[in-house]
Amino acid sequence: MTLLDRAIARTLPLVPKPIVRRVANRYIAGETVDEALRVVAGLNERGIRATLDILGEHIHNLDQARQAVSGYTTLLDSINKRKLDSTISIKLTQLGLKVDREACFELAAQVVRHAQDVKNFVRIDMEDSSCTTETLEIYRRLRRGYSNVGIVVQAYLRRTVDDVDALQDLRPNYRLCKGVYLEPREISYRDMRVINRNYVTLLEKMLSSGSYVGIATHDELMVWEALRIIRELKLPTSAYEFQMLLGVDEQLRDIIKAGGHNLRVYIPFGRDWYAYSVRRLRENPRLAGYVFKAMFK
Ligand SMILES: Cc1cc2nc3c(=O)[nH]c(=O)nc-3n(C[C@H](O)[C@H](O)[C@H](O)COP(=O)(O)OP(=O)(O)OC[C@H]3O[C@@H](n4cnc5c(N)ncnc54)[C@H](O)[C@@H]3O)c2cc1C
């Protein structure tokens, strides 16, 4: 990222929302279920799997959480009816984690149960560090009753290696990512070289202990390391998949797919697009160019 890109990333909250929206369009599949399912169908036709995220997080009351659950159960039915290859990804703060933890667990269980009924799978996204312990606890409780639920861990957190050790008895279905929230140095690595080393250490640990891993990255070095580990462990393609975000590095996506590996694209959609868009834009190395173009269009 250039200095200008970094400066704009820091001042994104000052950029008018319509401009943010225009620049972030590439990352979001629209506002409605129909729009999102059209994107899924297009990817499926090219042999690419999907996972759908209904945008929204940090809701303020349980009615909003129940609405989110209803959105997800309807979505699961639509995926099933249209025979699409897509799982769902949920955020526990959207199901009331910060409002009532027990209710959140019950609501998450409702989604996972419904997914089980329609033979689908639920991935629990990992949010900022104020949610990590509770998210892992809820995941562990869900696994007592269900196997169609997976978890995300973040390589930038200092605690993750211990979390993965502690979860080993569950042989979780993981998504491994670097992590996207702004966290204090006391609990997170800041140096990208360390984050990358940790990513590789975690991936090796997960794959060699028999966990299925969604290798979520657009970093060619991490993809290279993953392929090295997969080759060394002689893993079949059914033991892992690569995962990428909608709108990011489609060329790398095609290269991975052409190599014969399974690939899943994370597809967010919905009206609550702002927080997700800002997180994505902060990571875009060509942010300044995009913002200026959108301003003068
Ligand atoms: C499928 C998926 C699910 C995720 N789920 C979570 C989650 O639950 N919790 C969480 O904290 N994080 C999640 N993330 C985000 C992740 O933590 C990183 O923030 C993000 O993927 C960037 O890390 P990277 O591995 O691509 O490496 P980086 O080193 O950040 O990026 C590598 C290269 O990718 C390109 N790139 C990355 N981001 C962008 C962008 N937005 N626009 C344009 N180019 C870009 C750039 O060329 C960059 O140089 C997820 C990521 C993926 C792919």
Q: Which residues of the chain have pLDDT under 50?
A: none
pLDDT of 83 reads 98
pLDDT of 74 reads 97
pLDDT of 169 reads 97
Q: The pTM is what?
A: 0.95
pLDDT of 57 reads 80
Annotated active-site residue 125? The verdict is yes
Q: What share of the chain is helix, strand, coil (3-state, %, to 5)?
A: 55, 15, 30
pLDDT of 1 reads 67
pLDDT of 297 reads 61
From 134, 211, 140, 210, select the one nearest 176 (Cα to Cα): 211
pLDDT of 277 reads 86
pLDDT of 230 reads 98
pLDDT of 3 reads 75
| Active-site choice (49, 123, 143, 175) | 175
User: How many angstroms is it from 218 CA to the middle of ligand 1?
Assistant: 6
Residue 152 CA to residue 214 CA, distance in Å, equals 9
Q: What tens digit of pLDDT does each residue of 250-276 get?
A: 999 999 999 999 999 999 999 888 888
**Ligand 1, atom 26, residue with closest C-alpha:** 218
Residue 51 CA to residue 132 CA, distance in Å, equals 21
**Rg of the Cα atoms in the chain:** 18
- Residue given tokens 């984690």 in the structure block: 97
**Ligand 1, atom 35, residue with closest C-alpha:** 218
pLDDT of 154 reads 98
Give the binding-site residues of ligand 1, using a 6 Å CB cut-off. Answer: 125-126, 152, 154, 175, 177-181, 216-219, 222, 243-245, 248-249, 266, 280, 283-285
Annotated active-site residue 175? The verdict is yes
pLDDT of 2 reads 76
Burial of 240 (0-12, 13-18, 19+ CB in 10 A): buried
